[in-house]
Structure formats: C-alpha cells, structure tokens
Amino acid sequence: MKLTDHSKNRLMQSLNHWRVCKDFADPMFNYLVYGFEPGGFFKGWYANDATSILRSHPANTVEALKDLTKWMVNCMPHEAWGSHEKVNNWIRLVSDGRRAILEEYNLVYTEQEEIMMLLKGEPTHEQFFYS
C-alpha cells in the first residue's frame, strides 16, 4: 500500500499519543500497513498469547508493553489482533483490504484526502517518540 507522509504520520501520531515507544511503533506500522510478519514476540502479543512475553527482548519494559496494549485496545483494528487466526488473516489480507480497514479506524487518510493535502501543500511533521 502506498501512503503519503500525511497518512504515515497520522498512524504514527496515534501510536505516539499513547506513548508507544518507537521500537514497538515501527513493527506495528509495518504489520498494519504492509502485512509484514511481526516476529515471534509481537505476533504472539497481537494474538493475545500471554506466553509471548517469554520471547520478548529483555530490554522491553512492562510499562512499554502496557502502553502498546492500551493503544491496541483503544485504536487498533479489531480485525488485526486478538487471536492467532486474526493475526494470520491480517497478514494474508490484500493491501486494499488493509487500507480500507485502516481508513475506517481513522488511522490513515483516504486517498482522496491525501491528494487534497498534497495539492494544498499541507506540511507533514515527523512524530517524536518515547524511548
């Protein structure tokens, strides 16, 4: 899926609002937008598999995981998390399907909104992330 910086920043702003650290935000972005396999820990975490914590990097803090989970509960499309089946289905979903769902959840702009922002020359701003 092709996104303008406006849509990329909209999704990243959502993650940033919930204080999700950049080390968690980048894999989340790649999973949601491109359907990339998120890796053992994140795939398990998105699937609500409590044992995934055993595969977590030792530097991952409980506070960072709580922030990620708060974002998931409040903002993440329900189609993309909650079970291994949902995670696998999200990864297999075609790009247009992922985009439609992300638009529905207001995590990215529609293509028409992106075009209007580009034509108006609206600036984009990269998000600051917590560590």
Q: What is the band of 128 on the pLDDT scale with cuts at 50, 70, 90?
A: low
Tokens describing residue 102: 């992300």
The alpha-carbon radius of gyration of the chain (Å, integer) is 15
pTM assigned to the model = 0.90
- Looking at residue 98, its amino acid is R
Determine which helix (DSSP H) or strand (DSSP E) holds 24, and give its type and residue range: helix 22-34
Q: Under a CB-based contact definition with an 8 Å cutoff, are residues 69 and 20 in contact?
A: no
Cα distances from 129 to residues 8, 27, 122, in angstroms, run 14, 14, 22
**What value, to the nearest 5°, has the Cα angle with vertex 97 and ends 115 and 113?**
15
pLDDT digits (tens, 9 = 90+) for 25-76: 999 999 999 999 998 999 999 999 989 988 888 888 999 999 999 999 999 9
Q: In this predicted structure, what is the pLDDT of residue 75?
A: 98
Q: What is the band of 129 on the pLDDT scale with cuts at 50, 70, 90?
A: low
Measure CA 49 to chain center: 18
Q: In this predicted structure, what is the pLDDT of residue 33?
A: 97
pLDDT digits (tens, 9 = 90+) for 88-121: 999 999 999 999 999 999 999 999 999 999 999 9
